[in-house]
Amino acid sequence: MMHKGNALEALVAGLRGCPDDRADWQAVIALANHCLLTPDLFSSLAHAGQIHRLPQDVREYLRFVHDCNLERNLRLRAQLGEAVAALNRRSIVPLLLKGAIPLFLSPPGPVPSRMTSDLDVAVEPDEEATARACLEELGYVEVAGARGMARGQDAGMLELRASRANGFEPPRFVQRDSLRVRIPPAQSRVRHWMEHDLFKEGDYWRGRIDLRHLRDLAQLAETDDVDWTALQASMWDRGARNALDTQLLALHHFFGTRIPAKCAQRPMVRFQHWRRIFTATHPIIGAPLRLAGNLAWGARRVLQSDGLARRGPSDLARRIARTLLSGRTKI
């Protein structure tokens, strides 16, 4: 049986277009499925002209998953276009976030291989009620227990939220055919992803890595001019800068992204980077580290919840369980 660290190394090598001839592909595929990276693995190897080096059954499986995801992304793109058109008719130009951006910007024929869980769309705070009513007219309904709206015929949920300032350049207006949207600059997209993973989902404290988002960041750094120094300066305190630098070290470790040399200067950053890599590659012996981080983060979230005393112990137990079980696609 292949060690998980070796499977992770083989998966990252495949994502960089360099398949490991000694890889246990069953273990690599299991990890790729867990991280929602299987379609990307196929497309990376095919684009590099290396897909022929894989065993035939592995190639066929990866192609099957890739083609299924391709069909789903086509449906998601059509769903996004319908929603944007309806909002435009109400004089609302939505701000696209995360996976909705490459779907919208992709050429008319092909779509990205990235596996997208849902469509994230933001509007100005004073437009949110109108936008929600507009989507309800299209048949969308709020999903109980989830942040999003959905319809039975769609490939994924649509999450509508109010936009907020981020301190970087304002979004640019983009028009495709008759559809008008706003796209955040690369700097803002990077910060959004990092804040979501490191702070909102607690990956910095819990010692987890979202490899799919990390690959998104690496690809964004390759195609756009991301100023890591400015991003560091925008962090609100030393703890936030430590979290950012820890994520940058992971970017460099897995995908070779060029980062400022000073990222590794602080002992806390080096320790947190080591802890994340160690628990990702040694899940059994690293379990105590992961458990300690989960408990610390769970306690942090519970204590920060408003009205905790009024909700009682049963709600407290549900919140702890939900916090500890979230993020099942991370390593």
Shared domain for 176 and 194, answered yes or no, is no
Shared domain for 223 and 243, answered yes or no, is yes
Q: Which two tokens stand for residue 313?
A: 């112990």
Shared domain for 310 and 194, answered yes or no, is yes
Residue 329 lies inside a defined structural domain of this protein: yes
Q: For 301-315, what is each residue's pLDDT tens digit?
A: 776 665 444 555 555
Range picked from 24-28, 160-164, 222-226, 287-291 for highest mean pLDDT: 24-28
Mean pLDDT score across all residues of the chain: 89
How far is 229 from 55, CA to CA, in rounded Å? Answer: 43
Residue 74 lies inside a defined structural domain of this protein: no
Shared domain for 225 and 321, answered yes or no, is yes
Residue 72 lies inside a defined structural domain of this protein: no
How far is 163 from 266, CA to CA, in rounded Å? Answer: 34
How far is 155 from 74, CA to CA, in rounded Å? Answer: 9
Q: Which of 207, 287, 292 is nearest to 250 (CA)?
A: 207
Residue 314 lies inside a defined structural domain of this protein: yes
Q: For 105-153, what is each residue's pLDDT tens digit?
A: 998 878 899 999 899 999 999 999 999 999 999 999 999 877 799 999 9
Q: For 47-57, what is each residue's pLDDT tens digit?
A: 999 999 999 99
Q: How many domains does the chain have?
A: 2
Which of helix, strand or coil describes residue 266? coil
Model confidence at 277, pLDDT cuts 50, 70, 90, reads very high
How far is 121 from 181, CA to CA, in rounded Å? Answer: 10
Shared domain for 222 and 329, answered yes or no, is yes
Does residue 208 contact residue 199 with C-beta atoms inside 8 Å? no
Shared domain for 285 and 299, answered yes or no, is yes
How high is the pLDDT of residue 314?
59
**Rounded to two decimals, what is the model's pTM?**
0.87
Chain-centroid distance, C-alpha 250 = 15
Shared domain for 245 and 312, answered yes or no, is yes
Identify the domain boundary among 154, 184, 214: 184
H/E stretch holding 97: strand 95-97
How high is the pLDDT of residue 169?
77
Q: What percent of the chain has pLDDT over 70?
A: 90
Shared domain for 233 and 127, answered yes or no, is no
Does residue 50 contact residue 81 with C-beta atoms inside 8 Å? no
Does residue 242 contact residue 266 with C-beta atoms inside 8 Å? yes
What is the extent of the structural domain holding 99?
Answer: 90-184
Residue 259 lies inside a defined structural domain of this protein: yes
Whether residue 167 is predicted with pLDDT greater than 70 in this model: the reply is: no
How far is 172 from 231, CA to CA, in rounded Å? Answer: 19
HSE, side-chain direction, 13 A CA sphere, residue 154? 22
Residue 283 lies inside a defined structural domain of this protein: yes
Shared domain for 130 and 226, answered yes or no, is no
At residue 250's C-alpha, the angle toward residues 101 and 9, to 5°, is 100
Residue 128 lies inside a defined structural domain of this protein: yes
Q: For 285-304, what is each residue's pLDDT tens digit?
A: 888 888 888 887 777 777 66
Shared domain for 134 and 155, answered yes or no, is yes
Q: Tell me the β-bridge partners of 173.
A: 182
Does residue 69 contact residue 115 with C-beta atoms inside 8 Å? yes
Chain-centroid distance, C-alpha 85 = 26
Identify the domain boundary among 140, 166, 184: 184
Shared domain for 331 and 193, answered yes or no, is yes
How far is 70 from 64, CA to CA, in rounded Å? Answer: 10
Q: Across residues 65-71, what is the average pLDDT?
A: 96
How high is the pLDDT of residue 12?
96
Q: Would you report the helix, strand and coil content of the chain in percent, each value rounded to 5?
A: 60, 10, 30
Identify the domain boundary among 166, 184, 202: 184
How far is 161 from 138, CA to CA, in rounded Å? Answer: 17
Shared domain for 330 and 191, answered yes or no, is yes
Residue 58 lies inside a defined structural domain of this protein: no
